[in-house]
Amino acid sequence: MKDFLYKKGILVSAIRYPTVPKNKERVRISLNSNHTEEQINFLINTLTEAMNE
């Protein structure tokens, strides 16, 4: 997922074993007050697209 999001222009951090249990990988997303509603909607839509692949 990290690579998919990166190709779409979204930078996230991958959280992998041993930080989390095996097969429970995560991505860390950092939002702040400078992100626009349009950017947040793009993130949501892109995450949805990534999960459907």
pLDDT of the residue at 36: 97
In this prediction, residue 53 has a pLDDT band, given cuts at 50, 70 and 90, of: confident
Structure pTM? 0.80
Mean pLDDT rounded to a whole number for the chain: 95
Say how far apart CA 43 and CA 21 lie, in whole Å: 26
Amino acid at position 15, single letter? I
Say how far apart CA 38 and CA 1 lie, in whole Å: 21
Show me where the domains of the chain are located.
1-52
DSSP code of 53?
Answer: -
The four Cα atoms 50, 48, 24, 18 give a dihedral, to 10 degrees, of 60
Residues 12-35 pLDDT 10s: 999 999 999 999 999 999 999 999
